[in-house]
Structure 1
Amino acid sequence: MAKLVLDLHDIYNKGDHIDRALKDIVDQAISKKIKLVEIIPGKGSGALKKKVLRFLDRKDIKALYHRVEKDGQNWGRLFVHFRFK
C-alpha cells in the first residue's frame, strides 16, 4: 500500500511552514488517492504533535480524512487514514 510521509523535524520551529506542509500533504493524498499519510512530529516536548493534532482537528481539514491513529510503538508518529469511493 502506498503512503506519504511528512517528517517535520526540519521545520519544527516555523509555524507557518508546518501548516502549509500539512495542508500540502493532505491535498496530495487526496489528489493521488493515497490512503495513508505518516506524519512525524518527533518526540520532543510534545508541542509539535499537539500543533499537528490541532491542525487535523480543524473542521475544514477533518472533513477530508477518515481517522487519525497514534502509533502505539512510536510516540513521535501519527497516521492519517483516508477513504476513497
Structure 2
Amino acid sequence: MARISIDLHQCFRDGRKIDAALEGAIDDACAKHIATVEIIHGKGSGQLKKRVLRFLQRPDIRARYHRVEKDSRNHGRLFVHFRH
C-alpha cells in the first residue's frame, strides 16, 4: 500500500506553508493514485491539528478524499484515505 507522509513540524508557524504542504500532498495523492496520506501534526496544544482538520473540511478539498482517520495509538497524526 503506497502512502505519502507529510510532517508539519517545520512549518507550524506559517499558515501559508501549512496550506501549501497539505494541498501539495493531496494533489500528489490524486495524481499518483495513492491510497493514503499520513499527516504528522504533533501532539502539542492541538492548534495545528485543528487547523489541519479545518483545511480538510473545505468543500474543494473534501470532494477529493474519502475519509479522515485519527490514529488511535498516536494522537499526533491523521490519515486521509482516497478512493481512486
Give the alignment's TM-score, normalised by structure 2. Answer: 0.99
- The AA in structure 1 aligned to 2:40 is I
Query: 1:46-61 counterparts in 2 under 5 A?
Result: 46-61=46-61
- For residue 25 of structure 2, what is the aligned residue in structure 1? 25
**Any runs of at least 4 consecutive aligned residues in structure 1 with deviations exceeding 6 A, and if so which?**
none
Partner of 1:77: 77
Gap runs ≥5 in structure 1:
none
Match for residue 6 of structure 2?
6
Question: Residue 41 of structure 1: CA displacement?
Answer: 0.5
Cα distance in 2 for residues equivalent to 1:60 and 1:31: 16
Q: Distance in 1 between matches of 2:5 and 2:18?
A: 14
Give the residue type in structure 2 aligned to 1:39. Answer: I
Percent identity reads 61
SS of aligned partner of 1:60: helix
Aligned partners of 2:23 and 2:37: how far apart in 1? 12
